[in-house]
Structure 1
Amino acid sequence: MTCRRTAAVLKRRAAAVALIFFVNGAVLGNWGPRIPAIAGDLSLDAATLGLALAGMGTGGLLATPLAALAIRARGSRVTTLASATLLSVAIVLPALAGTWWSLGLALMVLGAADAVMDVAMNAQGVLVENRRGRSILNRLHAGWSAGAVTGGLIGAGAAALAVPVEVHFAVVAAVLLALTVVTARHLEPDAGRRGLDSAAPPERSGSRRGSVARRRSGPAAALALLGALVFVSSLVEDLPQSWGALYATDLGATPGPAGLTVVAFSTAMFVGRLVGDAVVDRVGRHRVLIGGAVAIALAFLAAPWVTSPTVAVVMFAVAGLGAAPIFPAVFGMAGRLPGIAAGTALSVVSLVARIGILVAPIGFGTLAGQLGYGWALWSMVAAGLAVAALATVLRARTSAHAPQG
């Protein structure tokens, strides 16, 4: 009876963490399809819009170091709830912006809340995974993708119906706040003040010889490789979300169908993450990363010559499937590096991702302004190849000591 009760509690906690991931994804999913409307209302060209969008990366970059401090001081549960509440409210701010710089400031707040929530909810995910003794991070990230898909559909529908952005975002904020309140009682409690750092990851079990070998492999070097991997991966996730609808609009799509590029990317990512844990167990994490990265590169290879918004939707769907396993794999590996506190490693990885999110819109906006959206999307080809190369190097470095791939 006690075992059944414990299993039921763990399922509820896993479901609560998945719902938190859903809330985070729903915010960004609703945001993407409305970018063309906001840019049009403010009469922003691609380069200026890129500067404004960089506000999200700037806010995330500034706030990420605070996440580890907040988790250590208050625990990942409290930090998750506080940041989820702020993120749900902050979605309204971009709709109220009247200039490119006020849009940038609004996105700084949104990015800061997202950054802290990102670290805290992944810390919750690692805690639940450790308690359950088996991999669930892909499924938790599938919750994020489900939120992004749902938000993208709502956003695309609101755009097609010409619903005012401020009304749309206000309704979204109210719903997401309610969902956050629902999770409050069921999130995983932290094990003392150290919380995540005191929880022993399941993969660390094994012989003393294996532990010594892993320590000698250089956790700092492995973390550096993971940092480089997540930097490039952040471009892979951010560019389709932020620029997909604009690319389709440039190809002649109307506001509703243009948002389907974001929906296609998020839907394919959701499907990929649903099956991700099983695929990783079968073929290995690194092989999945390499295959996914190659799929991303191939998806955008013909981008400069595409003239149909329908083809664009297919391209973004293929890229979403390829991108699906990347972030769960990186966060999973970072949370289990020997010799480095898990909360610290997760914060470092998230910080590097935020740098990527800061750089991506400025670089892409500049390229799009000079070359057009199609040629600018070749940056995704380069990013995919870079992810594949880094995953190959990481695999060669860790294959002697890690059981997966």
Structure 2
Amino acid sequence: MSVRRARAAVSAIFFVHGAIFASWAARIPAVQDELRLPAGVLGLVLAGPGLGALVGSQAGGLLVRCLGSRTVSALAPVVLCLPLGLVPSARSAWSLMGVLLLLGAADGCTSVAMNAQAVSVQRWYGRAVINSMHAIRSIGAVAGGLAGVATTSLGMTLAVQLESMAVLLAVVSAVAARGLRPDGERARQTVRTRPSGRGTGERGPNGRLTMPLLALMTFLAALVEDAPASWSGVYLRQVGAGTAMAAAGYAAFSAGSVVTRLCDDRLVDRLGWVRLTRFGTLCCAAVLTVALLLGQPAVTLVALVVAGAGVSAVFPGVFTAAGALPDSARAMGHVGFAGNLGWLVVSPLIGGLSTVVGLPAALGLLAVAAATIAALAPVLGRGRDF
């Protein structure tokens, strides 16, 4: 089987993963209107995907360990499409919560499996390719969001839109599954023959601490990556930005991340994971600090672009390092759990801090998180062993 075909297949799974969740997110207002959910109840219901993802990431690690990344990557995205199609059938907040818990669990499982398959394909390539796959996931999210906007503009009902997307993306997943690659003998041998404490992902200060340190990096990266979605627009309005500029905050961050991820594979081959991650996250910490101190809308927008670019290599690098550990499936499950935990707590964490110290100081936590990732970068190892 062609390794290029396998890369295209995994990339398609990444695209589906991004498109499914964005398809749901784009129709949240319509679901709220249809079920007549108060804001407080909606906030509780929207915690469902995050809670489900915590369970799903752990289950994903166990399933990959037992069945292999190819099998789980083939099945999990199809299962992920099911709750998307079931959203319109929810008739109450509780039934919607149940559907979203299932969506989150399938999302977390898919994330672990597709990253494990990506690391396997990357190992066969012998060079970095995982960053571009993460970029394609972001492109899938944009496509899913735009599809929601387009179908709403055309007057398509919620049920028709989400059920159609679920069927279409399930078909894409099923076709892509034919090109996925088994965790071949060469990949398994590469992991087994690395001595303890050596190679990618095991050059931390203590081999036994590598997995928790990787999980900590993922948790911190989730804070930095997810906070702009909820708080960039609020902060921009607070410092005097107009409605349009405030709405562009998360788009600026996402654009910096996506464009840079399309280039990061070449940068990894030249610099290695450690130097690229350290440099990027230090830049992220620096620009966020300057933007928060100056409080100027234009400076903040530029800082968000640079911050998105600076943190872009962290998730791919951590999954690559986790994939080099002896029990890689378990490590990836823990990494996925930490990322989902960060995603779940970041909004209430920033909100709670802002009530005590103000929003600018609360957002300073992101600069601290980025600087801490830079300090932890040596845990990623040399970054040239795939």
Q: In the aligned structure 2, how far is the partner of 1:99 from the partner of 1:184? A: 35
The one-letter amino acid of 2:272's match is G
- The alignment status of 1:112 with 2:82, answered yes or no, reads no
In 1, the alpha carbon distance for the partners of 2:374 and 2:204 equals 25
Do 2:69 and 2:117's aligned partners in 1 also have CA atoms closer than 8 Å? yes
One-letter code of the match for 1:330? V
Aligned-partner Cα distance in 1 for 2:215–2:313: 16
**What is aligned with 1:265?**
253
Amino acid at match of 2:282: V
Residue 357, structure 1, aligned to residue 350, structure 2: no
Q: TM-score, normalised on structure 2?
A: 0.80
Letter in 2 for 1:351: F
Q: Does 1:25 align with 2:18?
A: yes
3-state SS in 1 of match to 2:62 = helix
Report the Cα distance in structure 2 between the residues aligned to 1:307 and 1:222, rounded to whole angstroms: 39
Structure 1 residues 356 and 210 mapped into 2: Cα distance closer, same or farther (>3 Å)? closer
Q: Compared with structure 1, are the counterparts of its residues 209 and 112 closer, same or farther at alpha carbon in structure 2 (3 Å cutoff)?
A: closer
1:129 aligns with 2:122: yes
Q: Which residues in structure 2 correspond to 1:137-216 (within 5 Å)?
A: 137-155=130-148, 165-191=158-184, 198-201=188-191
* In 2: Cα distance, 1:375 partner to 1:51 partner: 26
- 1:3 aligned residue: none
CA deviation map 1:82-116 (0-9, x unaligned): 21012223234556666665554433222111111
**Distance in 2 of aligned mates of 1:166 and 1:57:** 23
2:265 is matched with which residue? 277
Once residues 35 and 299 of structure 1 are traced to their aligned partners in structure 2, the CA distance between those partners, rounded to angstroms, is: 33
Q: Per the alignment, in what secondary structure is the counterpart of residue 47 of structure 2?
A: helix
Cα deviation for residue 330 of structure 1 reads 0.4
Q: Which residue of 318, 321, 330 maps to 1:333?
A: 321
Aligned to 1:297: 285
Q: Which residue of 1 aligns with 2:215?
A: 227
Measured against aligned partners, the alpha-carbon deviations of 1:298-351 in whole angstroms (never above 9, x if no partner) come to 55444698686x8776554333212211100000111113xx222122122112
Q: What's the counterpart of residue 328 of structure 2? A: 342
| Distance change (3 Å), C-alpha of 1:164 and 1:263 | farther
- Mapped to 2, the partners of 1:246 and 1:174 lie a distance apart of 36
TM-score (norm 1): 0.77
Query: Which residue number corresponds to residue 37 of structure 2?
Result: 42
8 Å contact kept, 1:245–1:262: yes
Structure 1 residues 368 and 92: alpha-carbon distance in aligned structure 2, compared to 1, 3 A threshold: farther
Alignment CA distance shift 1:90-1:291 (3 Å): farther
Change beyond 3 A, Cα 1:237–1:208: closer
Mapped contact 1:235–1:380 kept (Cα < 8 A): yes
Opposite residue 233 of structure 1, the aligned amino acid is: A
1:33–1:262 CA contact under 8 A, matched in 2:
no
* Distance in 1 separating the partners of 2:306 and 2:93: 32
Residue 55 (structure 2) pairs with residue 78 (structure 1): no
Alignment map for 1:52-63 (pairs within 5 Å): 52-63=45-56
Q: Distance in 1 between matches of 2:31 and 2:61?
A: 33
2:376 to 373, 390, 396: 390
Task: Using the TM superposition, name which of 219-228 and 26-35 deviates more.
Answer: 26-35
Who is 1:87 aligned against?
80
Deviation, structure 1 residue 78: 2.1
